[in-house]
Chains A and B, each alone.
Chain A
Amino acid sequence: MEIYLPIAEMSVHWLVILGMGGAIGFLSGLFGVGGGFLLTPLLIFYGIPSVVAVATTSSHVTASSISGAIAQWRKRALDIKMGLVMAAGGLAGTTFGVWLFAWMRRQGQMDLVVSASYVILLGTVGTLMLRESLATLRAARSGRPASGQRSSHHSWIHGLPLKTRFRESRLYISVIPPVVIGFIVGTLSAIMGIGGGFVIVPAMIYILRMPTNVVMGTSLFQIIIVAAATTVLQATTNYSVDIVLAALLIIGGVIGAQFGVQVGARLRGEQLRLLLALLVLAVGIRLLFGLVLPPDDLYTLALSP
């Protein structure tokens, strides 16, 4: 059965959208990422106008992160204080990002900037995660204990002021790094239409050195706040949130997320990171092809703003 979307002004098959939401929700529950970096390109590929796809994805990210976060909260795998500190930076970042988004659209280079940021980000993050998880897996197989992850070596981070204690993360560090990471991810999420989990998760593990078990819950928690704010911001500035599309994606997403959390509980942390790394790299390589291969049609069409 086809359903008409009032804001996208087109009709879609509800099962296709429900399935997309479910698949992305599953990954969201599995890896603790919002899944926006997959959903936005998927929706655009299906024919949803990119402005609507970007804006509506953030409402889907909110919902699928909620059910994931509640599941993690029950396992006490969530650092609320850390989440709030990062979200404060994130909200400032989103506001800046929405402004930047509008400016780049006027310059006509939006597509290039979005694709290039995806390629650089996904490529870097994916490669780092792949190397790390492979090294950990190899170490585990050869019988040696995986070491180095929680080594409390003193980096520049420990020299920063405004130190505070994050109890659930068993950290005593400055609030500056989490706020800055939140700001950067918030900016990226407004430009790229993503929650930013695939940046936050590695940043928490490698820069903040948070224990892996609280990383999932905390990243989901901060994504909820930023994605909810982005949805409202997109609705008030671009009128581009499609509530019917959002409802379909969310129904699929929340169900998928529950299965994702259950499967994720049975896999080991480094296995999860290996899978996420491969997924992130695959999307990055696909987008890189789009930038360097000659396009089918040199001309593109857009409504004049």
Chain B
Amino acid sequence: MRAIAAITAILLAAAPAAATENLVAGLSQDTVEITSNYTGTDIVVFGAIEQAEAGGNDVVVVLRGPDADMIVRKKDSVAGIWINRDQARLYGMPSYYYIASSKPLAKIADHDALQRYAIGLSNLAPERISSHHDPKPFIAALVRHEQQAGLYGESATGVEFLSPTLFRAHVPVPASVPRGQYNAEVYLFRGGTIMSAQSTPLFIDQTGLERRLFEAAHSSPLLYGLSTVLMGILMGWLSSVVFRRNA
């Protein structure tokens, strides 16, 4: 909802300039199904700029996962032991964020514009912050951690132009992504401002046995727990029977 609101705001702001511009974009698939041998995949975001003026077009593609609330804690040395001291709660940060652009973001728009549009890893901001300290280093730490975990990423050359009007971007969806509704946002930039934007939803969910196990763990946890224990007891007993025969 938030992403859609942001895009609406951007479109309204860009409306007079974008009157003649038209952006059409789509995804290679609108759902990603996580099965037992899922190890991550790539989705392709493709599109065309209609009635494009020759040259000067830049495209930015963002895949944004469902919002999550996180706590970032900072360790401090107290009497020789490193313990968590300061902390910040960051509400409404994306659980997944990948940004691909046709050239480095700094060459597409100036810093202030990117910050205003909240585009780019360094411009991600939570909806709400609860902390007694300057939140900037905490937000930076979150981005750093998520990058290491493969859940945040950027590619300054990720959007390739196949012709002056046709473009394409490969966006990775690693195995560790959270499930939920994602949004693929495509922005058309010219002269440092957004001329047009489009958002397409992408659903990522478990299917088959994984889905049923996940649901069982949440809908009937007692039965699920007892089954796990029973499985362990049976396997333990079975192995000692098998090994006794062999011995």
Contacts and interface: CB of A to CB of B under 8 A. Distances in A.
Contacts of B6: none
Contact of B235 (A2, A7, A254, A301): A254
Interface string B169-205: 0000001101100000000000000000000000000
Most buried by A among B89, B141, B142, B243: B243
B74 interface: yes
B75 to A, nearest CB: 5
Contacts of B44: none
Contacts of B222: 232, 235-236
B16 to A, nearest CB: 41
A35 to B, nearest CB: 13
A114 interface: no
Contacts of A239: 217-218, 221
A235 B224 contact: yes
Contacts of B232: 59-60, 62-63, 66, 228, 231, 246, 250
B140 to A, nearest CB: 9
Contacts of B213: 6-7, 243-244
- Provide the main secondary structure of the chain A interface: helix
B179 to A, nearest CB: 7
Contact of A235 (B73, B138, B228, B236): B228
Interface residues of A, number: 58
A300 B75 contact: yes
A293 B77 CA distance: 10
A301 B221 contact: no
Given A297-B144, A299-B72, A4 B210 contact: yes
Interface in B224-244: 224-229, 231-233, 235-240, 243-244
A219 interface: no
A293 B82 CA distance: 8
Contacts of B224: 235, 241, 243
Contacts of B229: 59, 62, 228, 231-232
A299 B145 CA distance: 9
A148 interface: no
Most buried by A among B35, B232, B244: B232
Given A70-B236, A239-B221, A292-B80, A108 B228 contact: no
B33 to A, nearest CB: 11
Interface stretch (B49-57, B63-71, B114-122): B63-71
Given A239-B221, A292-B82, A302-B71, A66 B175 contact: no
B157 to A, nearest CB: 28
Contact of B225 (A241, A250, A251, A291): A241
A65 interface: yes
Given A59-B229, A234-B225, 11 more contacts: A3-B36, A4-B34, A11-B40, A62-B229, A231-B228, A235-B222, A243-B213, A250-B231, A298-B76, A301-B71, A302-B72
Pairs A-B, 3 closest by C-beta atoms: A66-B236, A235-B225, A63-B232
7 contacts: A4-B210, A67-B237, A67-B243, A244-B36, A250-B231, A299-B142, A300-B75
